[in-house]
Structure 1
Amino acid sequence: MTTESTETREGINRDSEAMPKLTGVFRSLFAVRNSINGFKSAWREESSFRQEVILFLLFSPLPLVLDIPPIQRLLLAVTVLLVLLVELINSSIEATIDRISLERHELSARAKDCGSAAVTLALLICALTWGTICFPLLLRWMHW
């Protein structure tokens, strides 16, 4: 009997027939569990992710207290979440490249550099959004 095998995180080969594909609510619950594991892993392994989470925690209450329209509140929150999202994707790219090979290769370097550039763009989008919305408020507050 021939069956397709898959490799798990622990490196153990398991029969695909032994693990039926989950559906419905159970699939969603396992997806949430996998997401939590992803957050834990990023927190544990990625210092840049920890720094960005701390910035998120520091800045996220600010839109709630600013006298701005709801859409601007949403923009401030979404741009900070965008940074976290892109950082998670970048971390995934880096982990995948390192899993394939630790030796230096032009394509590996390009993939990692593009991931890093994506994070930089997300940070720029965040900074521009926050600056555009908050700078006029700051000037008003300082009576300029």
Structure 2
Amino acid sequence: MRNQPKYNFFKNTSYALNGIVDLLKTETSFKIELIIVVLLLPVLIFIDTTLVNKLLMFISLFGMLIAETINSAIERTVDLVTLEHHIMAKRAKDVGSAIVFFSIIVFVVTWLSIFYVIFFQ
């Protein structure tokens, strides 16, 4: 049996907001990626392209934040389990970093491809 309270939308939302605040306080990479999101959202809104392209750009942009959040959760869990250097802990953290790396590749390829079609075709 799981030790979990009944679902409550407002409590669950507060947990999510607490997580975001904690990321902002402690994770430099998350802050940098959030700045990128804030700077590019107006571009996304005003760019002259199809709705599908805008959705792809939006998903790839927020995918970076999602990946960084997953990576931070992995790193914190590993640190909770052990603070000593262990090869499996390193591997888990490296895989978390790979998630972020892949999300950045998806973001860059998506945005560059769409900009190429808009400006050079």
Give the gaps of 5 or more residues in structure 2. Answer: none
Secondary structure of the corresponding residue to residue 83 of structure 2: coil
| 1:71 has 2:71 as partner | no
Is 1:52 matched with 2:51?
A: no
Aligned residue for 1:22? 6
Greater shift, 45-54 or 57-66, is seen at: 57-66
User: In the alignment, which residue of structure 2 is the partner of 1:102?
Assistant: 83
Q: Which amino acid aligns with 1:112?
A: K
How far 1:61 moved relative to its partner? Answer: 1.2
Quick check: which has more Rg, 1 or 2?
1
Measured after TM superposition, the shift of residue 134 of structure 1 is 0.9
Structure 1: which 4+ aligned runs deviate by more than 4 Å?
none
Give the RMSD, CA atoms, in angstroms: 1.7
Residue 117 of structure 1 is matched in structure 2 by 98
Gaps of 5+ in 1: 1-15
Identity percentage of aligned residues: 29
CA distance in 2: counterparts of 1:81 and 1:102, whole angstroms: 31
SS in 1 for 2:30: helix
TM-score (norm 1): 0.78
- Length-normalised TM-score, structure 2: 0.93
Larger fraction in strand: 1
Judging by fraction of residues, say which structure has more helix.
2
